[in-house]
Amino acid sequence: MAVSVAFSSALALALAGCSSDEQPDVQVVPPARAAESPVSIDPDGEVLPLDLSVTATAFDEATNSLVVLADDELLYFSGSTQDPMSDATRVALPGPGTSLTLDGSGNAITAAGSDIAVVSLESGEVQLASPSGITAEWTAAVARPDGTIAAGTDRGQVFAGEDSERPVTGLVSADVLIASGANLAAIDRRQSMIIEVFPERGTLGFALRAGNGASNAVTDGEGRVFVVNTRDGELLVYTLDRLVLRQRYPVPDSPFGIAYDAQRDRVWVTQTGLNEVAAYALDTGIPVEVARFATVQQPDSVAVDSAGGYLYVSSATGGGVQRIPLTTSDE
């Protein structure tokens, strides 16, 4: 997996000339958290037993695998399985995972403590990008179209690519990274902001507030970024070719997990205060709710199998993984 090796080399060069203690003196807010959910009574679809607290969920179309992150372990299994605890490939991570993304070529990328782990979903092989000399913890990592990895730290640094001579600084924390085409952006939860990142220049670009509690984000790969404002109860839609807030829509009851369905052009958002997940169509001036389902308890993460037509919602309290078929009426 060349991306990991290239990324590690770039980091080693970058870290030789930077301090991990450089942080802006700005006003911050506590990072927004998902609301504690009520007990779930009757989830829609079927619930696959998984006695783990899942913090992130993704579906990899290249390998037809559902991938879940649970503390310091990554699990992946066929989306059609009935028993993920038995059928899953379990991969130990070097530390507790804080992010999960896919590179589109059958690899999962996680920020796990002092390492970035790249896991092959074909073989289970793990490759680490483990530069020395950094005291911060990795908080986010994402593959870029050129095959390199961009990664952020809890000290607000962003490293990216073989051409990076220094990390980009100026954030309080780089909690979520979004790569869409040549564009790269970060969510800084402590400032509740979305910010353009230009690694080749070593600078940040434009920044916009994302309410008072931006938590998670996803992209459609075509320049749109969908951000959940958990504290204020909103779905925010931005464009990255020029950072502009295009749409803003109320989603109450602690929205937290978010996923994009490319085939149907839908954004799915979980509402942890209700144990529900809703889909929003985006082809009008404002998002329009087009589907809603009852979920497992504490639905902190969600993923979509666009080609297969399934929605997956994972419980952060060990309540399993929910599989919901997307019928014609949901499209």
CA–CA separation, 302 vs 313, rounded Å? Answer: 4
Q: Which pLDDT value is given to residue 259?
A: 99
Distance CA 328, CA 270 (A): 21
Per-residue pLDDT at 274:
97
Instruction: pLDDT tens for the chain, 331 residues: list them.
Output: 344 444 544 443 333 334 445 667 788 999 999 999 998 789 999 999 999 999 999 999 999 999 999 999 999 998 888 887 788 999 999 999 999 999 999 999 999 999 999 999 999 999 987 555 677 899 999 999 988 999 999 999 999 876 456 899 999 999 999 999 999 999 999 999 999 999 989 999 999 999 999 999 999 999 999 999 999 999 999 999 999 999 999 999 999 999 999 999 999 999 999 999 999 999 888 899 999 999 999 999 999 999 999 999 999 999 999 999 997 556 5
pLDDT at 172: 97
Round to whole Å and give the CA distance between 68 and 91: 11
Which of the 8 DSSP states describes residue 137? P
Q: Which residues are CB-neighbours of 223 under 8 A, at least 6 positions away? A: 180, 181, 183, 239, 240, 241
Nearest to 195 by CA among 203, 215, 186: 186
- What's the one-letter identity of residue 263? Q
Confidence at residue 83, expressed as pLDDT on a 0 to 100 scale: 84
CATH code matching the domain that covers 2-18+38-330, chosen among 2.130.10.10, 3.40.50.300, 3.30.43.10, 1.10.10.10: 2.130.10.10
Residue 32, SS3 per DSSP: coil
pLDDT for 331 equals 54
Q: Which of 299, 298, 300 is nearest to 37 (CA)?
A: 298
| Contact (CB, 8 A) for 148 and 129 | no
pTM, entire model: 0.91
Query: Measured between alpha carbons, how far is 293 from 317 in angstroms, rounded to an integer?
Result: 19
